[in-house]
Structure 1
Amino acid sequence: MAHSSPTEVAVNGNAGGCPIDHAALARAQGCPVSAPAAEFDPFGDGYQQDPPEYVRWARDKEPVFYSPKLGYWVVTRYDDIKAVFRDNHTFSPSIALEKITPTGPEANAVLASYGYAMNRTLVNEDEPAHMPRRRALMDPFTPEALKHHEPMVRRLTREYVDRFIDDGRADLVDQMLWEVPLTVALHFLGVPEEDMDRLRAYSIAHTVNTWGRPKPEEQVAVAHAVGNFWQLAGSILDKMRQDPDAPGWMQYGIRKQQELPDVVTDSYLHSMMMAGIVAAHETTANASANAIKLLLQHPDAWRELCEDPGLLPNAVEECLRHNGSVAAWRRLATRDTEIAGVAIPAGARLLIVSSSANHDERHFTDADFFDIRRENASDQLTFGYGAHQCMGKNLARMEMQIFLEELTRRLPHLRLAEQQFTYVPNTSFRGPEHLWVEWDPADNPERRDSALLSQRQPVRIGEPSTHAISRKLRVASVTRAADGIARIRLESPDGKPLPRWTPGSHIDIECGDTGLSRQYSLCGDPAAPGTLEIAVLREAQGRGGSAWIHEHVRPGGILRARGPRNHFRMDESAASLVFIAGGIGITPISAMARRARELGMDYQLHYSGRTRGCMALLDELAQLHGERLHLHISDEGGRNDFAALLGRPTPGAQVYACGPERMLAALQQACAGWPEDSLRVEHFHSTLATLDPSREHAFEAELKDSGIVVQVPAGQTLLAALRGANIDVQSDCEEGLCGSCEVRVLGGAVDHRDVVLTRNERAAGNRMMACCSRAQGGRIVLEL
C-alpha cells in the first residue's frame, strides 16, 4: 500500500470512520481502499481548481468511498446526495460548522481567551430545535420581503462599476464582488457599516478555521482573528438590542426573541450574527466571481446575455450549477445505514460533494456542457436541499442577476486577463481570490448612448421561470399549409444545431411584446437537423396568439421560443398504433406517424376535418402513409365512427389523439372498455386551472423535505403559495398544459385539474401539477 502505512490508515478506523481493519487486511491481502480514494485530498490544487472534475472517477466508478487522509466518507452522485439532504435525522448537520482540521492547544487557548462559543445555527442544528427557529426567522427571506432590497443593490453596483469603468482593467473581486455583497449583507442583517477590510479578514479566517487546513504556525493567528470576529459580533448585537425596531434581520430576530424566548435565545442570536455575516456575503461574493469567470470563458454565452438580459435568471442558475461557490457540505451518520449499497456506520462523518452532484450525467444531460438555457439548471444543489436549504438563496440570486446585468450592459466587451486563479484551500467554499478583467474604455457603449444607464432588467426573485430560457430563432420560411393555416420553418440565427426533439414535442412561442406565450406542436421531421416546424391555425375566437403570428411572422424575422419539451410521448414498443387527428391537431400526430413509419411499426392514421381545403399537410401525409391514411371530411360525407373503429380493444395497441375537445371527449367514451392509458391525448387548451374562490376550499401542504407546512387559501394556487414560502418550483404555462410544475405527492388525495397526466398516473396519486391541481381534502404531503 504505497499511499500510507497500514498503521497510519488504521488510526482512522475508529468508530464512525473507516470500519475496516486496514492493518490486518494489508498484511493478508493488501489494503481494500482504492488508490484514488487513498489519494483523495480536498486541500490540494486539483480539488480547489475543479472539484467536479477531481472526483469524476468517483461519480463513474466509486460514488461512495472512504478517504483515509480526511477521515470522511465521500458521496459524489446527485441522487445519493439529495437523499442525504432529505433525511436530516439519519444524516445530522451537526458537524457542518465543526473544524475539519482540529487545532492545537495553543490555538484553542486563544479562542477560549476571547470567550468564543460558536454553537448552533440554522446550518448545523438538529431537530426538533431547528425547524421552530427556521420558521420563526424565515419571513425576511421570502421573495416578497426581499423586493425592497433591490434598489439598494442596484445603487451599490452602479457606484462600484462607476469607480473603474474608465480604467480598462480591474480586479473584480477586490474592486466590487467582495465589498458590494458585504455591504448588502450588513444592510440585510441590520449591521452598521463597520470596517469592511477587518470584516473581510475575519470572514476568511472563519472559513479557514472551519473548513480549511491551516498549518500549525498559522493556527494561532487564525484563532485571534476568529476570536476578534466573535467579540465584534457580540458588540454589534448589543448595540442592536438598544433599537430592536430598526430594520434588519437581526433586529427581526431580537423582536422574535421577545415573542419566543425559548426558541430564539441569546446564545443563538450571537452565533447567528457571526454566521450570518459570513453566509450572507462570502458565498455570494464567490458565486458572483465564479459566474463572471465562467461566462467570460464562454464568450458565446456572454454575448447572448449582452444581447438578451432576459436570459439572466437562468444563466445565474446554470452558473451556480456548473461552478457554484459551495463545493461540499458535511453530515454525521446517526445510525448504521447505507448509501448506494455501501454500509455507513453510526458516527461516520460524510463529505457530500454537491458540486459533483451538479455534474452528474444521471441527472443533468451533457452535464459538463455550460448551457445558460438548461431547463433543469435550478435543480442544482449548491444551495443544499430540504429543511436546511440556504434561506438566503434568493438574495444571492438577486445580487448575481444585478451584477451580471450591470456588467453585460455597460461592459459587453469585457474579457479575462491572463492570470493564474488561486483559491483559499478548504473543503467547502470556493471562489477565485482575484478576477482580473480587461476592456477598451473607448468602446464603452455609454459613451455613445447616454440612455443606456437608465435601462434596467426586471429581477426574478426566486427560481427562474422557464420563460427565462427562450432562444432566438430565425423564420426561414412561411408557407400556406391549408386555409387559414401557416406552416413556419424555424432555424438557428447563427447556424448552430438546435435541440433534438421527439414526436409529440412542442415549443412555446413568445408573441413579441404582447406578453402572450403560446404552445405549438412540432410537425416536421425530428431527424432533420437544424430546423423546427410548426403549423398555426388562425383562430377567430382564440386568445390572440395565433392572430399575432399570422400578422407579424415573416421570413427573415426573429422569434423567441422555449423548448422543445415533450409530455405527449409515443410508446415505440407498442404492438400497434392508432393515430387520430382533428383539424390542426394533425401537427403532433403527423410527426408520430412519420416515426412509426420509419420504425416499421403497425399503425393507421385517421384525420378528420370540415373541408379538404382546411386540412393541413394532406399531400405530404398521402405520400408518406399511402393506404394507412384515412381521411374523414365532413362536407364530403365522411365522419370518423369511433365506436366502429375502437369498439373492440386491440391487444397491445395504443391510441394517440389530438384535436378539438369535443372529439377527445367522444374518444374517451369510445375507449372506455380499453385497458387503462391505452388512449393518450394532447389538448389545445385548458380552463381547469381557473380558480373560483367561492367554490374552492383552503388546504395545507406539508413539505416533507423542508419540514414546513404551507397554507393554501381558496383563492390561491398551490404554486403561488409555495413560492410565497420561498420554495423553488419551476413553471411555464400555469394552465395545467405543459407539466413543468410537477411535484411529487407522498400523502393525501389530489384534485387533478391538469391535462398532462394519464388516467393511471392520476389514479396512482403520486404526482400533481402545482399550478392548477389542489388537495381533495384539507391536507396534502409533498416531496419538497
Structure 2
Amino acid sequence: MSNSSTLTALVHTLRHEAEGIISVDLRPHGDSVFAPFDAGSHIDLHLPNGLVRSYSLLNSPAERGRYVVGILRDRGSRGGSQWVHEQLRVGSTLQISAPRNNFALDTQASHSVLVAGGIGITPIYCMFRQLLALGKSAELIYCARSRKEAALMEELNGINAKVVFHFNDEKDTLPDLRHYLAGQPTDTHFYCCGPTPMLDAFESTCESLGYPHAHIERFAAAELPPSEEAQDSYSVELKKSGKTVLIEPGLNLLDVLLEAGCDIEYSCREGVCGSCETKVLDGEVDHRDSVLSKAERAANATMMVCVSGCKSRRLVLDV
C-alpha cells in the first residue's frame, strides 16, 4: 500500500529473457506521462492482488515513454513475482510509481566496475550501457548460477566492452570477488546488485581492498536489529505541522506519522525502496534501512521512517 500518486501503465510486451525471468515493457496509458529516469532507477508495481513490488529499470534512460523491468520468479515468492509470471497479460494495465533512484551512477568516475548477480543484472545493464554511451571507461562482471538463468546474454555478447561471465555450474565454484576486483585504482567506482550474500561479500571485499567508492542496491531488506543505543520510547516533533507525537514501545514510526496526518510516501515497509525517506532536522537516528550508505547514515540528514528508530529522546522531522 502506498499513499503516493501512481501512473497507469499499459503492459505492451512480455518477453522470456532466461529461465525463470521475463521482461515487462510498460507504456503510458490514458493521460499518463512517463517521467524521464536515470540509470539505476526503479519503479513500484502496484499489483491487483494488493502487493507492491519494486523492480529496476533496465532500458536506456534515452528511451522516453517506456519503462522496461526484468522480473525473476522468486522461489520464495509471497505472491509478487509469482503473480506477474502467472497472471500478467499483454494489454492489461497496472498502477506504477514514478521512478526513484537509490543507486545513482557517478558518470564522472575515471573508471567503473559493475558487478551483477543473477537478476541484479537489470540495473547494472542499464548503468553499463549508459557509461559506454557517454564514452566512459567501464567493465562488467556478471555472475549467475548457470548460463540458462542469465538474462540479457545476447545483448551483452554484442557489446564492445570488457564483460566477464562467471557461471557457477561451469566454474564449479562461487565467484571469488577478491580475484575479480583486485588491482583496480583506488578512485575506481564499484557497483553491485544481486542477492544478499553477494552484496555482503562485495562490501567486505571492497573494504579490505581499500576501495572507498562502493555502491550497492539490495533486493531484500538486511536484518538489522535495533542498536544498543535505540530508545524504546521517544518524542518526534513534526516541524511543518507543529505537532509532537510520542513513539512508545511496539509502535512503528511510519504508522504514527500517518495517523498524525503527515503526507509521507511509502511502499515496501522494509527499508529497501527508499520512498519514505524523510529529512531529519535534529536528533540521532537508529538507521535500520538497506538504502543509505555508511556515509549517509553518519551524516544523519535523512532516515527511512518505515523501519528506523531513534537513539536520542527527541527527534525533529521536516514533515
Verify the 8 A CA contact 1:582 1:608 in the aligned structure 2: yes
Return the letter of the residue paired with 1:756. Answer: V
Q: Rg bigger for which structure?
A: 1
**Whole-angstrom CA distance in 1 between matches of 2:302 and 2:11:** 37
Verify the 8 A CA contact 2:34 2:98 in the aligned structure 1: no
Equivalent position of 1:532 in the other structure: 67
Return the letter of the residue paired with 1:643. Answer: R
Verify the 8 A CA contact 1:729 1:741 in the aligned structure 2: yes
Equivalent position of 1:367 in the other structure: none
Q: Secondary structure at the match of 2:50?
A: coil
Return the letter of the residue paired with 2:45. Answer: I
Report Cα offsets for 1:312-331 as digits up to 9, x if no partner: xxxxxxxxxxxxxxxxxxxx
Return the letter of the residue paired with 2:39. Answer: P
Which blocks of at least 5 consecutive residues in structure 2 are unaligned? Answer: none
Equivalent position of 1:586 in the other structure: 121
Please list, as runs of the form range in 1=range in 2, the aligned pairs for 1:363-512 lying within 5 A after superposition.
465-466=3-4, 469-494=5-30, 498-512=34-48
How large is the RMSD of aligned CA atoms in angstroms? 2.4
**Whole-angstrom CA distance in 2 between matches of 1:696 and 1:609:** 42
Identify the structure with the greater helix proportion. 1
The answer as to 2:77 corresponding to 1:542 is: yes
Q: Secondary structure at the match of 2:13?
A: strand
Pairwise CA distance, 1:722: 2.1
The answer as to 2:169 corresponding to 1:635 is: yes
Return the letter of the residue paired with 2:14. Answer: V
Verify the 8 A CA contact 1:649 1:673 in the aligned structure 2: no
Change (3 A) 1:676 1:776: farther
**Whole-angstrom CA distance in 2 between matches of 1:621 and 1:613:** 14
**Whole-angstrom CA distance in 1 between matches of 2:114 and 2:296:** 21
Return the letter of the residue paired with 2:297. Answer: R
The answer as to 2:290 corresponding to 1:755 is: yes
1:557 maps to which of 92, 99, 116: 92
Return the letter of the residue paired with 1:506. Answer: H
Return the letter of the residue paired with 1:775. Answer: C
Which blocks of at least 5 consecutive residues in structure 1 are unaligned? Answer: 1-459
Equivalent position of 1:269 in the other structure: none
Return the letter of the residue paired with 2:286. Answer: D
Return the letter of the residue paired with 1:656. Answer: Y
Pairwise CA distance, 1:634: 0.6
- Identify the structure with bigger relative contact order (alpha carbons < 8 Å, sequence gap 6+): 2
Instruction: Provide TM-score, normalisation by structure 1.
Output: 0.38
Verify the 8 A CA contact 1:689 1:735 in the aligned structure 2: no
Please list, as runs of the form range in 1=range in 2, the aligned pairs for 1:46-195 lying within 5 A after superposition.
none
**Whole-angstrom CA distance in 1 between matches of 2:78 and 2:231:** 26
Equivalent position of 2:264 in the other structure: 729
Verify the 8 A CA contact 1:659 1:684 in the aligned structure 2: yes
Change (3 A) 1:676 1:640: closer
Equivalent position of 1:651 in the other structure: 186
Pairwise CA distance, 1:659: 0.3
Pairwise CA distance, 1:746: 2.9
Equivalent position of 2:55 in the other structure: 520
Q: Secondary structure at the match of 2:17?
A: strand
Q: Secondary structure at the match of 2:159?
A: helix
Report Cα offsets for 1:185-220 as digits up to 9, x if no partner: xxxxxxxxxxxxxxxxxxxxxxxxxxxxxxxxxxxx
Mean Cα displacement is larger for which, 712-721 or 571-580?
712-721
Verify the 8 A CA contact 2:41 2:100 in the aligned structure 1: yes
Change (3 A) 1:749 1:686: same
Equivalent position of 1:574 in the other structure: 109
1:596 maps to which of 122, 131, 136: 131
Q: Secondary structure at the match of 1:605?
A: strand
Verify the 8 A CA contact 1:688 1:735 in the aligned structure 2: no
Report Cα offsets for 1:131-178 as digits up to 9, x if no partner: xxxxxxxxxxxxxxxxxxxxxxxxxxxxxxxxxxxxxxxxxxxxxxxx
Pairwise CA distance, 1:688: 4.6
**Whole-angstrom CA distance in 2 between matches of 1:588 and 1:667:** 16
Q: Secondary structure at the match of 1:564?
A: coil
**Whole-angstrom CA distance in 1 between matches of 2:243 and 2:110:** 47
**Whole-angstrom CA distance in 1 between matches of 2:165 and 2:218:** 21
Q: In the comparison of the two structures, how many residue pairs are matched?
A: 315
Instruction: Provide TM-score, normalisation by structure 2.
Output: 0.90
Pairwise CA distance, 1:744: 2.1
Q: Secondary structure at the match of 1:589?
A: helix
Return the letter of the residue paired with 1:636. Answer: E
Pairwise CA distance, 1:669: 0.7
Return the letter of the residue paired with 1:742. Answer: E
Q: Secondary structure at the match of 2:158?
A: helix
Verify the 8 A CA contact 1:688 1:772 in the aligned structure 2: no
Pairwise CA distance, 1:729: 2.6
Q: Secondary structure at the match of 1:736?
A: coil
Pairwise CA distance, 1:753: 0.9
Identical-pair percentage: 37
Verify the 8 A CA contact 1:676 1:760 in the aligned structure 2: no
**Whole-angstrom CA distance in 1 between matches of 2:257 and 2:234:** 13
Change (3 A) 1:557 1:729: closer
Verify the 8 A CA contact 1:509 1:562 in the aligned structure 2: yes
